[in-house]
Chain A
Amino acid sequence: MSRPESPLKSMDYSVVQQCMHCGMCLPTCPTYDATQLERNSPRGRIALMRAVADDRLKPGRSFAEEMYFCLGCLACMTSCPAGVNYAELFERARAEAEASRALASPFRSLLRRVVLGWLFGDLKRLRLVGVLLRWHQQSGAQALLRRSGLLRLLPARLRELEAMTPTVQSRFSASRIPPLSPARGTRRFRVAMLTGCAQDLMFSDVNRDTVEALTRNGCEVATPPLQSCCGSLHAHNGEWAQAQDLARRQIDQFPPGQFDAIISNAAGCGSHLKHYSKLLEDDPEYRDRARLWDSKVKDIHEWLARIGIDPPRPERPVARKVTYHEACHLCHGQKIVTPPRELLRAIPGIELVELPESAWCCGSAGIYNLIQPEMAGDLLARKIQHVRSTGAAVVATGNPGCLLQIQQGLRREGLDLRVAHPVSLLAEAYRDEA
């Protein structure tokens, strides 16, 4: 059963029935906050899903658009006293939207096939694109193109996208991190590290920093050079079969029994990686391993807090104010709230200033900023305004999507702040030790 006829109808009805429409989630939902329209709220969306499951509503274009207007930020799950599993409902609803083909157009289908199927289906290809992009950026071709004025010929939307293309790093993870990094000192744990896709291309330094922080704290780290995508992008965009396939590949590559933990440093991936057992529940061959896998996946902050880190003793601690933005899929998706803050506080020189509305989505939300630029832009502006109010010199956040989005927002406002993964700040402090 790769993709059932109607993902919502085939779902356990109690999941959708769990919502007792009390409305307690409404004030925490960014899209409801923006429009105050009930359909743009968790309660409204769940009502639509239930109506589809009940056969009271035919999932058409309007339904599909609504499900793609939802950020998938899961703030509603944190605020729901009734314990509604919105994450599952959301994935089902997007799969339903795809199954209905209500949004299908030749261009969209092609784009989805290229991006989800081709590009993220095999990371060798993603890396190839990365290499091309890197050449484009470093050879001066991008600068030339931007100066030439040729871009003005593009439609506004494409021009914005061009401006958003992230800078690809000069080296990817595989050339920075050996397949096996021994623990420094006594080996206490054996862990595997997932390099991620966006992380690998744009933030391979974060991967290197993660490995350093791990080895410094007694972990031996396995980092195979060729990894596949975790499939979160696929699951969140209604491509179940592909997501299942990618999950199986991960489990094959990292047999969970061989590691104390499987580490992710990208909140969006981690939040998905921890639910393979749900994804593969109908697969007798993988079911048990998927369960073990789920229990082994740990976000880097979570893992470091669990094993207890050796506080860094840098020779030249840098005194600075740091503020912390909570990636949705860390705080809402994985309920990891204090470990990143504790990690930052453990670094000498850092003064942690709380960010107002720190757990409010920044608008990155996977590829949301590409498909809903207006809503994403509003959320970003709100985030940057709060960042500015803290007077911090550094914004720390544990997800590549948020890192990129906030970098983009700061650039747009001409603000000169650094955006960094907490683990990078930690690794820097370790590097400066005697």
Chain B
Amino acid sequence: MADLSKCVERLRALLGSANVLTGPEDLLCYSFDGTAAMRQLPGVVVFATTTAQIQSVVLLANELRIPLVPRGSGTGLSGGSLPTPDCIVLCTARMDRILEVDSANLTLRCEPGATTVAIADAASEAGLFYPPDPGSMKISTIGGNVAENSGGLRGLKYGVTRNYVMGLEVVLPDGEILWTGNKCVKDVAGYSLRDLFIGSEGTLGILTQALLRLIPKPASKRTLVATFNEMEQAAQTVSDIIAARIIPCTLEFLDRTTIHCVEDFAKAGLPLDCEALLLIESDGHPAVVEEEAAQIEAIARRNGCLQIRVAQSEREAAELATARRSAFSALARVAPTTILEDATVPRSELAKMIRFVADVARRHRLKIGTFGHMGDGNLHPTFLTDERNKEEMHRVEIAFREIFEEAIRLGGTITGEHGVGLAKKSFLPSFAGEPSMRVMRELRRVLDPRGILNPGKIFD
């Protein structure tokens, strides 16, 4: 395309040749993210390391009317950073400095490419705590986390990324640079634009800086693993824990298939002779943790748990959390293509949803592994299939539709934390309803009149 080659030339002038990739071997490596069975070659891939550079790329894209797709580490699970044909992929992974840790105001300021783990480590070094911990935290970037409003294992007690974003610097789709938010705990001056950009999946602006909220590190924690003969016992245990007014930091669930895959990889000594496993972590004041852990144990036993193991050291607890974080990828041991879902229901409906998923798998003769953030009603039923088997993939699609419909019927949502992107685009209109769709469309048109930024994602 003539336009594209002109564009490449201009990009080289703006960023230097080393930061502009056009070779087939390079483009191929940016033609996918963490989402299964999706692939599209971009026109060109560029790296920027300053806000000014990003601004110049956005202006150029506007001038030449070339679509621009922001990308962090490409671990997204809804195809958010998947290229559109002939687009510019703008990768912010190398813009990764932690700029400031402010212990007086409990904030951290960083560039968009900083990894979640780098942020957590920097906070920890200052004796503070950055709770959001998506399973991908060792490599996912804060830009991606904010754009997807990612959750994690600690969502139940500590919330998700949104709860820790105090301010953002954004390059708008027309090239203007905007700051929203500040270090004040309270601020009601105008609309909260900051909240608009959180979860915007790279469609409303390019994040170039984030100001994050930190909290004091909990003084102690206790990690438990409880196993059950039946999934429903696990689900009931979760409901009972919440009903007893206990909010543990983590309440994660793995089913039999997932347990076996995870143990195969992590060798964390997970019990294999069970149908369901709960990983529970309580943190806070030592006396409270002690009491909560005892209560949790009693509730689990009342629900007929097979075995309870308490992590004996910080290291063992970390191993268990790492094992859980590997669940999704570990499921790939069973089948070449793993398509995971993100349906979320109110906690009271969890047991019903779990039963429904098992039933769907049976009816459509599909293999499924389920794990998830049970404490916040966010399940990840994962279909274990082979993308080359067209007939089976078709059944997978039907099964998904049924799961979504059931989730909505139970008052839930089609995606709890992975975003809409391309993967759930077709389900959004019926879920959100026309008024919401209209407002979203108009908002986007105002900010991005030329449709430059991540076109085709979330909705057309």
Please give the residue numbers on chain A whose beta carbons come within 8 Å of chain B beta carbons, in ascending order: 14, 17-18, 20-24, 26-27, 36-39, 41, 43-44, 47-48, 51, 56-57, 62-63, 66, 80-83
Given contacts A27-B138, A43-B29, A56-B28, 4 further A-B pairs with CB under 8 A are: A20-B338, A23-B34, A26-B73, A48-B28
Q: How far is the CA of A11 from the CA of B244 in the complex (A)?
A: 56
Q: How far is the CA of A37 from the CA of B27 in the complex (A)?
A: 11
Whole-angstrom distance between the Cβ of B192 and the nearest chain A Cβ: 31
Whole-angstrom distance between the Cβ of A43 and the nearest chain B Cβ: 8
Q: Quick one: closest A residue to B339, CB to CB?
A: A20
- Give 1 or 0 for each of B133-158: 1 = CB within 8 Å of chain A CB: 00010110000000000000000000
Contact B329 A22 (CB under 8 A): yes
Q: Quick one: closest B residue to A38, CB to CB?
A: B29
Whole-angstrom distance between the Cβ of B77 and the nearest chain A Cβ: 9
Q: How far is the CA of A157 from the CA of B29 in the complex (A)?
A: 32
Contact A14 B25 (CB under 8 A): no
Within 8 A of A (CB), among B105-139: 115, 117, 136, 138-139
Contact B336 A44 (CB under 8 A): no
With an 8 A cutoff between CB atoms, is B94 at the interface? Answer: yes
- Give 1 or 0 for each of B1-42: 1 = CB within 8 Å of chain A CB: 000000000000000000001011110111111101000000
Q: How far is the CA of A83 from the CA of B136 in the complex (A)?
A: 17
Partner of B29, one of A17, A44, A56, A82: A44
Q: How far is the CA of A51 from the CA of B32 in the complex (A)?
A: 12
Q: List 8 A-B contacts (CB under 8 A).
A: A22-B136, A22-B328, A26-B139, A27-B115, A36-B47, A37-B21, A47-B29, A81-B333
Q: Quick one: closest B residue to A32, CB to CB?
A: B139
- Give 1 or 0 for each of B301-344: 1 = CB within 8 Å of chain A CB: 00000000000000000000000001111101100111000000
Residue among B26, B29, B117 with the highest chain A CB neighbour number at 10 A = B29
Contact B332 A47 (CB under 8 A): no
Chain B residues, CB < 8 A from A18 = 332, 336
Partner of A20, one of B29, B36, B266, B326: B36
Chain B residues, CB < 8 A from A39 = 25-26, 28-29
Partner of B265, one of A17, A44, A83: A83
Q: How far is the CA of A44 from the CA of B21 in the complex (A)?
A: 14
Partner of B28, one of A17, A20, A57: A57
Contact B25 A48 (CB under 8 A): yes
Q: How far is the CA of A14 from the CA of B29 in the complex (A)?
A: 19
Whole-angstrom distance between the Cβ of B306 and the nearest chain A Cβ: 25
Chain A residues, CB < 8 A from B337 = 17, 20
Chain B residues, CB < 8 A from A14 = 336
Chain A residues, CB < 8 A from B36 = 20
Chain A residues, CB < 8 A from B338 = 20
Chain B residues, CB < 8 A from A83 = 264-265, 330, 332-333
Chain B residues, CB < 8 A from A43 = 29
Partner of B25, one of A20, A66, A82: A66
Contact B139 A23 (CB under 8 A): yes
Chain B residues, CB < 8 A from A66 = 25
Partner of A62, one of B25, B73, B330: B25
Within 8 A of A (CB), among B237-295: 261-262, 264-266
Contact A24 B32 (CB under 8 A): no
Contact B74 A62 (CB under 8 A): no
Q: How far is the CA of A41 from the CA of B266 in the complex (A)?
A: 22
- Give 1 or 0 for each of B45-78: 1 = CB within 8 Å of chain A CB: 0010000000000000000000000000111000
Known: A14-B336, A81-B326. A23 touches B28 (CB 8 A): no
Chain B residues, CB < 8 A from A22 = 34, 75, 136, 328-329, 332
Contact B115 A47 (CB under 8 A): no
Q: How far is the CA of A57 from the CA of B332 in the complex (A)?
A: 25
Q: How far is the CA of A82 from the CA of B265 in the complex (A)?
A: 8
Chain A residues, CB < 8 A from B264 = 83
Q: How far is the CA of A26 from the CA of B91 in the complex (A)?
A: 15
Contact B138 A24 (CB under 8 A): yes
With an 8 A cutoff between CB atoms, is B93 at the interface? Answer: yes
Chain A residues, CB < 8 A from B327 = 81
Q: State which size class the interface on B falls in.
A: 35 or more
Q: Quick one: closest A residue to B138, CB to CB?
A: A27
Contact B34 A47 (CB under 8 A): no
Q: How far is the CA of A21 from the CA of B32 in the complex (A)?
A: 8
Chain A residues, CB < 8 A from B386 = 17
Chain B residues, CB < 8 A from A44 = 29
Q: How far is the CA of A18 from the CA of B332 in the complex (A)?
A: 7
Q: How far is the CA of A48 from the CA of B36 in the complex (A)?
A: 17
Contact A51 B28 (CB under 8 A): yes
Q: Quick one: closest A residue to B387, CB to CB?
A: A17
Chain A residues, CB < 8 A from B328 = 22, 81
Q: How far is the CA of A51 from the CA of B26 in the complex (A)?
A: 12
Chain A residues, CB < 8 A from B266 = 81
Contact A21 B34 (CB under 8 A): yes
Partner of B330, one of A17, A37, A51, A82: A82
Contact A24 B24 (CB under 8 A): no
Contact A63 B336 (CB under 8 A): no
Chain B residues, CB < 8 A from A21 = 32-34, 74
Q: How far is the CA of A17 from the CA of B265 in the complex (A)?
A: 18
Known: A17-B336, A26-B73, A82-B332. A57 touches B265 (CB 8 A): no
Contact B336 A37 (CB under 8 A): no
Known: A17-B336, A18-B336, A38-B74. A24 touches B329 (CB 8 A): yes
Contact B329 A82 (CB under 8 A): yes
Q: How far is the CA of A371 from the CA of B266 in the complex (A)?
A: 35
Chain A residues, CB < 8 A from B34 = 20-23
Chain B residues, CB < 8 A from A82 = 329-330, 332-333
Q: Quick one: closest B residue to A15, CB to CB?
A: B336
Whole-angstrom distance between the Cβ of A78 and the nearest chain B Cβ: 10
Contact A24 B326 (CB under 8 A): yes
Whole-angstrom distance between the Cβ of B338 and the nearest chain A Cβ: 6
Q: Quick one: closest A residue to B267, CB to CB?
A: A335
Chain A residues, CB < 8 A from B30 = 38
Q: How far is the CA of A51 from the CA of B30 in the complex (A)?
A: 13
Chain B residues, CB < 8 A from A63 = 25
Contact A36 B329 (CB under 8 A): no
Chain A residues, CB < 8 A from B23 = 62
Contact B26 A23 (CB under 8 A): no
Chain A residues, CB < 8 A from B29 = 37-39, 41, 43-44, 47-48
Partner of A57, one of B24, B73, B329: B24
Q: Quick one: closest B residue to A28, CB to CB?
A: B138
Residue among B28, B75, B262, B329 with the highest chain A CB neighbour number at 10 A = B329
Contact B330 A23 (CB under 8 A): no
Contact A23 B336 (CB under 8 A): no
Known: A20-B337, A24-B138, A24-B139. A81 touches B332 (CB 8 A): yes
Q: How far is the CA of A44 from the CA of B138 in the complex (A)?
A: 17
Q: How far is the CA of A36 from the CA of B136 in the complex (A)?
A: 17
Whole-angstrom distance between the Cβ of A196 and the nearest chain B Cβ: 30
Q: How far is the CA of A298 from the CA of B265 in the complex (A)?
A: 22
